[in-house]
A = this chain, B = another copy of it.
């Protein structure tokens, strides 16, 4: 398998993809997803876990709002993993994650995830390489467990953006009132660490790819949303689900 090297991957939609047509296709996709989700819920056999990772300002919240926000919330939950609490820190790093694993029939979205435990923690040198290695092994084991013994289909998206686009978005947080709440004092400090984050991401693509990563060109929101919706649809279609009929 070719290694993922972010530098070599475009952050933009391919040139032959047309914006307006894609937006129309996205609308159709969202309608199809609504029906497929209903089927997933009714059949109550498979679970879907959608992991969303990406740097600050890569558009994670917007993606969740505009794609998953269109589905029936009875069958979709979002878990946002912020800095761990004292109780969470008193357990192994996967404890709080496992707790939020999807039940059968459900789609669970992780806004950030267990991967932060080998990303932000490494960039800020809060853990050594040996611990990072152990965590990677534990992550592979954990995803295997969910997949093999929890009937869970896992999609791991990396929202790939250019530094220029991220800088532009961070600046908007200072000037656009509806975006100011997202501004964080540490944003500019973290921006200096982007190359280190990119390296940590590539390391985690290399070592935690039993379930493959999907790198989504995300400078344009419309394309990012389209790719994620299309991938989710293909996954749900692949389950070959059927309505179970009357209960016996």
A112 within 8 A of B: no
Instruction: Give CA–CA (A94, B105) in the complex, Å.
Output: 18
Instruction: Give CA–CA (A230, B145) in the complex, Å.
Output: 35
A149 within 8 A of B: yes
Partner-binding segment picked from A133-141, A174-182, A200-208: A133-141
Instruction: Specify which chain B residues have a CB less than 8 angstroms from the CB of A92 in the assembled complex.
Output: 101, 145-146, 149-150, 152
Instruction: Give CA–CA (A93, B145) in the complex, Å.
Output: 9
Contact status B141-A93, CB under 8 Å: no
- Binary contact track A53-96/B, C-beta < 8 Å → 1, others 0: 00000000000000000000000000000000001001111110
A103 within 8 A of B: yes
- Binary contact track A81-123/B, C-beta < 8 Å → 1, others 0: 0000001001111110011010111000000000000000000
Contact status A138-B145, CB under 8 Å: yes
Q: With A134-B149, A138-B145 given, is the CB distance from A91 to B87 under 8 Å?
A: no
Instruction: Specify which chain B residues have a CB less than 8 angstroms from the CB of A135 in the assembled complex.
Output: 149
Q: How far is the CB of A120 from chain B (nearest CB, A)?
A: 17
Contact status A91-B148, CB under 8 Å: no
Partner of A91, one of B91, B101, B138: B101
Who on chain B is nearest to A146 by CB? B92
Contact status B94-A145, CB under 8 Å: yes
Instruction: Specify which chain B residues have a CB less than 8 angstroms from the CB of A103 in the assembled complex.
Output: 87, 90-91
Instruction: Specify which chain B residues have a CB less than 8 angstroms from the CB of A134 in the assembled complex.
Output: 148-149
Most B CB contacts (10 A, CB to CB) among A87, A95, A145 go to A145
Instruction: Specify which chain B residues have a CB less than 8 angstroms from the CB of A146 in the assembled complex.
Output: 92
Instruction: Give CA–CA (A104, B93) in the complex, Å.
Output: 12
Contact status A149-B90, CB under 8 Å: no
Instruction: Specify which chain B residues have a CB less than 8 angstroms from the CB of A90 in the assembled complex.
Output: 44, 103-105
Instruction: Give CA–CA (A227, B49) in the complex, Å.
Output: 45
Instruction: Give CA–CA (A94, B99) in the complex, Å.
Output: 10
Instruction: Specify which chain B residues have a CB less than 8 angstroms from the CB of A152 in the assembled complex.
Output: 92
Q: A94-B149, A142-B145 are in contact. List 19 more A-B contacts (CB 8 A).
A: A44-B90, A87-B103, A90-B103, A90-B104, A90-B105, A91-B101, A91-B103, A92-B145, A92-B149, A92-B150, A95-B98, A95-B99, A99-B99, A138-B144, A138-B145, A138-B148, A141-B141, A141-B142, A141-B145
